[in-house]
Amino acid sequence: MDYKRFIEDEVERLRETVGDGVAINALSGGVDSAVVTVLGHRALGDQLKTFFVDNALMRKGEPERVVRDFAALGIPVELVDAREEFLGALEGLSDPEQKRQAVTDTFYRDVFADLVRRTGARYLLHGTILTDIEETVAGIKRQHNILEQLGIDPEKDYGYRVLEPLKTLRKDDVREVARLLGMAPEMAERIPFPGPALATRIVGEVTEERLQTVREATAIVEEELAETGAFQYMAVLLNDRATGIRDGRREFGQIVVVRCVESVDARAATPTHLSWEKLEAICERITAIADVCRCLYDLTPKPPATIEYV
Ligand code: XMP
């Protein structure tokens, strides 16, 4: 694939489509939305307004990090506090599809529709990639960012058009484009992070308390496994408990799964062969989190498992 040509074509297409209008987009902390932001700003300059929606589901320190990294690229990012809306929409839900649906609705119908009104934007730039579309169409999963493929007309339903400049690319292509756009390796190589964020890493109900646990565990896993160069690694909070012992007392505590996989484009994945020492170090730190008394390592490839748990 000619990536240079891809960038030129997409920049041209975005300029033509948006004209002298206004477009908006949101960063999730993953590489796809970061690339869309840099590509979009190259095409549209300050006609593109970029937001970071704090949906309460983000990783530790993420809002501050995103704003700082993009400021260094000369791209202003506005923080939007939507924590209450998302937590409210997720309250009481434990079915995976219902949780994804709640995140989608809150994003597109509530938060973005508001931003569209406020900015006068007619376009929303989205980091959908080819794998997202294929898996949604195949009925494997409802990716939060697929609207058209699900028969939702955003123009009619929400009042804006969605533009998806990366929809012909897979993850490895996105990284090539990121490098060509001059993005720092930390950004171009960042492990994938799903739009519905930590909601995909909590089996069962998403509450502030459970988010706090998985956020803490995620920070540990990301720190411990950064050096592996693996495709993706994460912590997942199960909806079950098991008996443990803390300070000489029995504790019916929570269970955290660590997942680390090798993959090229997320369509298939195999578990990383981590050393026993590394696994023990992670286990020790994760079981030091309050109320967590077990830590497991997931050996399942994709398929049959997906990469995320929800
Ligand atoms: P699964 O769990 O389907 O994930 O094997 C494949 C890859 O896609 C990411 N993922 C998402 N990315 N919106 C996204 O932007 C989503 O709704 C979503 N769901 C999964 C996942 O992290 C993995 O890299």
Together in a domain, 154 and 253 = no
How close is the Cα of 197 to the center of ligand 1, in Å?
9
Domain with 233, as residue range(s), is 202-297
Question: Is position 194 within any domain?
Answer: no
- Tell me: do 277 and 218 sit in the same domain: yes
Q: Are 159 and 285 in a shared domain?
A: no
Query: Are residues 72 and 178 located together in one domain of the fold?
Result: yes
Give yes or no: residues 180 and 234 share one domain. no
**Same domain? 80 vs 44:** yes
Quick: pLDDT tens for 127-184.
999 988 888 777 776 666 666 666 778 888 777 899 999 999 999 999 999 999 999 9
Give the chain as a DSSP string: --HHHHHHHHHHHHHHHHTTS-EEEEE-SSHHHHHHHHHHHHHHGGGEEEEEEE-S-PPTTHHHHHHHHHHHTT--EEEEE-HHHHHHHHTT--SHHHHHHHHHHIIIIIIIHHHHHHHT--EEE----HHHHHHHHTTS---TT--GGGT--HHHHHSSEEE-TTTT--HHHHHHHHHHTT--HHHHTPPP--TTGGGGGBSS---HHHHHHHHHHHHHHHHHHGGG--SEEEEEEEEEEEEEEETTEEEEEEEEEEEEEE-SSSSSBEE----HHHHHHHHHHHTTSTTEEEEEE----BTTS-SS--
Give the position, in ligand 1's atom list, of the atom nearest the Cα of 263: 24
- pLDDT, tens digit (0-9, with 9 covering 90-100), for 245-255: 999 999 999 99
Residue 173 and residue 71 in one domain: yes
Please state, in angstroms and rounded to a whole number, the distance separating the CA atoms of residues 184 and 232. Answer: 19
* Pair of tokens at residue 254: 């929570």
Mean of all residue pLDDT scores within the chain: 94
| 27 and 106 in a common domain | yes
Give yes or no for residue 91 having a pLDDT over 80: yes
Counting the structural domains of the chain, the total is 2
Q: Which atom of ligand 1 is the closest one to the Cα of 193?
A: 22
Range from 94-98, 190-194, 287-291 carrying the lowest mean pLDDT = 190-194
Q: Whose CA is nearest to atom 11 of ligand 1?
A: 194
Nearest CA to ligand 1 atom 18: 194
Global pTM reads 0.90
- For residue 81, name the pLDDT band (cuts at 50, 70, 90): very high
145 with 184, same domain: the answer is yes
Which residue CA neighbors atom 20 of ligand 1 most closely? 194
For residues 166 and 251, membership in a common domain is answered with no
Same domain, 265 and 147: no
| CATH, residue 149 | 3.40.50.620
Residue owning tokens 């209450």: 84
Q: Indicate whether residue 307 lines ligand 1 (CB < 6 A).
A: yes
| CB distance 143 to ligand 1 below 6 Å | yes
Q: Which atom of ligand 1 is nearest to the CA of 30?
A: 15
Higher pLDDT, 3 or 147: 3
Of 104-113, 148-157, 280-289, the range with the lowest mean pLDDT is 148-157
List, for residues 8-67, the tens digit of each pLDDT value: 999 999 999 999 999 999 998 889 999 999 999 999 999 999 999 999 999 999 999 999
Q: Answer yes or no: is 267 within a domain.
A: yes
